[in-house]
């Protein structure tokens, strides 16, 4: 059976991945590039190297992770 999300999204055991951006969507653990749709604790895991999100979500991510030194990409 064909993956219904392909080629835009891949469903993997680690979560949902957007291959075009080499990014994980709302990942539960630290990853190199995260696209955050919101900043609930289950997605705002410390340690993402790069976060793509709205400015408001980035602000909440920084508040939850004050020592974060990654790159922010406001959307």
Which DSSP category does 30 fall into? -
Q: What angle do CA 14, 15, 21 make, to 5 degrees?
A: 110
55 or 1, which is more confident? 55
Summarize pLDDT for 20-75 with one digit per residue, the tens.
999 999 998 999 999 999 988 887 888 999 999 999 999 999 999 999 999 999 99
User: pTM (2 decimals)?
Assistant: 0.86
pLDDT value of position 23 = 96
């Amino acid at each position: 059976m064909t993956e219904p999300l392909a080629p835009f999204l891949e469903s993997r055991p680690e979560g949902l991945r957007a291959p075009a951006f080499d990014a994980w969507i709302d990942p539960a653990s630290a990853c190199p590039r995260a696209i955050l749709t919101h900043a609930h604790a289950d997605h705002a895991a410390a340690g993402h190297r790069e976060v793509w999100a709205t400015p408001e979500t980035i602000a909440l991510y920084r508040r939850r992770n004050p020592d974060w030194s990654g790159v922010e990409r406001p959307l």
